[in-house]
Amino acid sequence: MELQGRNVLVTGAAGGIGSAIAEVCAAQGAQVIALDRVQPGTAAQPPEELRERIRPLSADISTAAGCEAAIAEAVGSFGTIDGVVNCAGVMRRGSLLEVDDDDWAFSYAVNVEAVARLCRGLLPVMREAGYGSIVNIASQWGLEPAGGHIAYNSSKAAVVSLTRSLARDFGADGIRANSICPGEILTPMLQQKLDDNNISESELASTIPLGRLGRPAEVAELASFLLSDRASFVSGAAIEIAGAQQVGI
């Protein structure tokens, strides 16, 4: 129960990595606001024993108004927020000649601007408390870009840089900021990609030295560690969780 007494906001929490993070944080004692665009009740429900600690919230954080509403609801519900995990993300595939302005704008609105807006809104609360942990979900492709995903690659690289900037600018206020850079994690998004391209899980796993795909729960354990006091001297890090896979290999 190392997050006992902590209040945590998790975005993109209706499925995949985000819902796993919300559940792990709740299992470790945190009160969690699980934010997503989907309406409460339409997403998969957490285990019954965790439901009293997970409060669903619907908001469209691709807009400034949506971010402001989410911040107001989170702070209004708990009074303070000790940790935030920015997990919401979108992927628009294609090279620069294949993605259009709408693809580009939406990728940055969700993957970068929402992260910055939510952090901007919560930093004063954390600064007043003298404590806070920010965990931003970037990507292995934000460290080493994959072909044909320029909007996603560059937006996730921006998340890594934004996170390091936060760590340097607000460390003196007791606020830590780290990014997690997952590789091939078996989420619904990845499963859809495998299905669309007629690729089996074992085929993709053969490109990973550990011989398997990652699971959302493994990313969630890393996120909960970074939120906890066990990571009290970890800040400004971009932690790859990819089974030693090299991009493009």
At residue 249 the predicted structure's pLDDT band, cuts being 50, 70 and 90, is: very low
The catalytic position among 6, 26, 35, 152 is 152
Tokens of 57: 């919230």
* Each residue's pLDDT tens digit, 137-183: 999 999 999 999 999 999 999 999 999 999 999 999 999 999 999 99
* Strand, coil or helix: 56: strand
Domain formed by 7-241, architecture? 3-Layer(aba) Sandwich (3.40)
With 90 as the cut, is the pLDDT of residue 21 above it?
A: yes
What is each CA distance from 101 to 116, 147, 151, in whole angstroms? Answer: 21, 19, 10
Give the burial class of 24: count Cβ atoms within 10 A of its Cβ; 0-12 exposed, 13-18 middle, 19 or more buried.
buried
pLDDT band at 246 (very low <50, low <70, confident <90, very high): confident
Cβ atoms of 100 and 143 closer than 8 Å: no
CA-to-CA dists, residue 95 to 68, 147, 151, angstroms: 33, 8, 8
- Any catalytic annotation for residue 152? yes
What integer is the mean pLDDT of 62-71? 96
Measured CA to CA, the distance from residue 49 to residue 31 in angstroms comes to 13
Determine the length of the chain.
249
pLDDT in tens, 84-104: 999 999 999 999 999 999 999
Residue 41 pLDDT exceeds 90: no
The per-residue pLDDT for 39 is: 59
Q: Which residue has the tokens 């965790």?
A: 50
> Tokens standing for 3?
């997050």
